[in-house]
């Protein structure tokens, strides 16, 4: 770990008692807002996530006045710029209203830390929403979801269907917490030195998503030392959130754990060292969870303080991560 002038940045977990806010398609919470008067309650969202986050229910079709029940709409036209029109009856195009509402919500709900959209919806769907084009059926994005994410491009977003996959779910939670850290960091005033400290505190967290990301972000940090901090910090934020979307692998986790262990190794006694390396090996071969070496590392860090290592976000998982991410326990 690199030593140098110290700038404290917050890589710590969310303060106790602070509940992060997530936008959610209302129908996923059991609200009867669908075109047919039904809902699409999702138990993981409505029960599990509801315990830990403040969920903000939003139904764009009801908000623009389409009512319940209502005539269903679908996407037609150009796959990159589709239109949302009524499926049956006289042609009614609600594209402009849905876009306007999306932009308005993005302005009003700037403190959201993430968004869970209803899959396949012509308004809320994030990926693979059916679009009828002159060349046949294609996949696109719902009009409202596209408008929200155009206005808040870094906001972590997922669909409820994809959250059934533990890797996608873990990654979403990780991005939500990292996004919050980044927004808080931005709000507290970014200087070149603080950006360097933020980057250093996320070294291990970034390496598990790919060393290329860490290096590319490092180049932005280096340019920031020479000026233009505003533009470069924005570029850093974009690249930082994009990096976290790359899947983390067991192999890279093993390397990150080993790197932390090697930093502490000179201070550890023979038994502690053997136990720590055995725990990392057991994780690498799938015989132990990642939580085992992480707990040992944190214990040793308390006994043998090492400021740079102690500031690593990777070694200080948020309690929410520990509760919600299967990967921490696998
Ligand atoms: S998918 Fe979106 S627009 Fe459709 S009912 Fe659910 S919240 Fe409303």
The residue from 164, 183, 203 where one domain ends is 164
Mean per-residue pLDDT for 232-255? Answer: 96
pTM for the complete prediction? 0.92
Q: Is the pLDDT confidence value at 5 over 80?
A: no
- Residue 269 counted as domain residue: yes
Residue 184's CB: how many other CB atoms inside 10 A?
Answer: 13
Instruction: For residue 30, report the distance from its CA to the centre of ligand 1, in Å.
Output: 11
Mean per-residue pLDDT for 288-317? Answer: 93
Mean per-residue pLDDT for 265-284? Answer: 95
List pLDDT tens digits, range 88-119. 988 899 999 999 999 999 999 999 999 999 99
List pLDDT tens digits, range 126-161. 999 999 999 999 999 999 999 999 999 999 999 999
Do 171 and 289 share a domain, yes or no?
Answer: no
Do 192 and 143 share a domain, yes or no?
Answer: no
Helix or strand holding residue 236 (H, E): helix 229-245
Helix or strand holding residue 28 (H, E): none
- Residue 4 counted as domain residue: no
Domain hosting 321: range is: 250-329
Do 205 and 130 share a domain, yes or no?
Answer: no
Do 90 and 203 share a domain, yes or no?
Answer: no
- Residue 7 counted as domain residue: no
Beta strand pairing status for 136-140 and 157-159? unpaired
For the chain, how many structural domains are there in total?
A: 3
pLDDT for the residue numbered 153: 97
User: Could you tell me if the CB of 61 is within 6 A of ligand 1?
Assistant: yes
- Residue 294 counted as domain residue: yes
- Residue 91 counted as domain residue: yes
User: Could you tell me if the CB of 27 is within 6 A of ligand 1?
Assistant: yes
CB-CB contact of 223 with 232 (8 Å): yes
The residue from 119, 140, 164 where one domain ends is 164
Do 160 and 38 share a domain, yes or no?
Answer: yes
- Residue 13 counted as domain residue: no
Do 179 and 103 share a domain, yes or no?
Answer: no
- Residue 128 counted as domain residue: yes
Do 227 and 172 share a domain, yes or no?
Answer: yes
Q: Is the pLDDT confidence value at 8 over 80?
A: no
pLDDT for the residue numbered 17: 66
Q: Residue with the nearest Cα to atom 4 of ligand 1?
A: 34
Instruction: For residue 91, report the distance from its CA to the centre of ligand 1, in Å.
Output: 20
Instruction: For residue 242, report the distance from its CA to the centre of ligand 1, in Å.
Output: 27
User: Could you tell me if the CB of 97 is within 6 A of ligand 1?
Assistant: no
Instruction: For residue 321, report the distance from its CA to the centre of ligand 1, in Å.
Output: 28
Do 25 and 146 share a domain, yes or no?
Answer: yes
Do 34 and 86 share a domain, yes or no?
Answer: yes
Instruction: For residue 213, report the distance from its CA to the centre of ligand 1, in Å.
Output: 35
- Residue 257 counted as domain residue: yes
The residue from 245, 260, 293 where one domain ends is 245
pLDDT for the residue numbered 16: 62
Do 285 and 311 share a domain, yes or no?
Answer: yes
CB-CB contact of 116 with 158 (8 Å): yes
Give 4-73 as a DSSP string.
Answer: -S------SPPPTTPPPEEEEEGGGGT---STTS-----HIIIIIIHHHSEEEEE-HHHHTT--SS---E
Do 204 and 105 share a domain, yes or no?
Answer: no
Do 142 and 57 share a domain, yes or no?
Answer: yes
Q: Is the pLDDT confidence value at 9 over 70?
A: no
End-to-end CA distance of the chain: 27
What's the sign of the alpha-carbon dihedral 74, 78, 83, 87? negative
């Amino acid at each position: 770990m690199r030593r140098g002038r110290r700038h404290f940045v917050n890589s710590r977990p969310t303060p106790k008692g602070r509940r992060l806010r997530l936008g959610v398609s209302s129908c996923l919470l059991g609200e009867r807002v669908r075109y047919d008067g039904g809902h699409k309650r999702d138990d993981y969202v409505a029960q599990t996530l509801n315990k830990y986050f403040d969920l903000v229910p939003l139904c764009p079709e009801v908000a623009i006045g389409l009512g319940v029940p209502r005539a269903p709409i679908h996407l037609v036209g150009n796959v990159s710029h589709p239109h949302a029109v009524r499926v049956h009856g006289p042609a009614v195009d609600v594209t402009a209203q849905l876009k306007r509402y999306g932009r308005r919500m993005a302005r009003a709900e700037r403190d959201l830390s993430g968004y869970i959209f209803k899959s396949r919806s012509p308004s809320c769907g994030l990926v693979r929403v059916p679009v009828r084009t002159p060349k046949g059926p294609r996949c696109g994005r719902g009009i409202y979801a596209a408008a929200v994410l155009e206005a808040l491009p870094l906001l972590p977003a997922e669909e409820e269907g994809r959250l059934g996959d533990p890797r996608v779910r873990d990654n979403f939670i990780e991005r939500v917490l990292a996004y919050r850290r980044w927004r808080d960091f931005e709000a507290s005033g970014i200087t070149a030195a603080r950006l360097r400290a933020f980057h250093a505190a996320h070294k291990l967290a970034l390496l598990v998503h790919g060393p290329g990301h860490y290096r590319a972000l490092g180049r932005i940090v280096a340019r920031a030392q020479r000026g233009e901090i505003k533009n470069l910090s924005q570029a850093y934020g974009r690249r930082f959130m994009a990096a976290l979307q790359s899947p983390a692998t067991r192999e890279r986790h093993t390397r990150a754990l080993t790197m932390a262990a090697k930093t502490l190794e000179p201070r550890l006694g023979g038994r502690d060292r053997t136990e720590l390396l055995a725990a990392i090996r057991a994780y690498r071969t799938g015989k132990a969870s990642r939580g085992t070496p992480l707990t040992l590392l944190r214990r040793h860090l308390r006994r043998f303080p090492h400021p740079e290592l102690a500031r690593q976000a990777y070694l200080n998982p948020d309690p929410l991560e520990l509760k919600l991410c299967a990967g921490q326990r696998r």
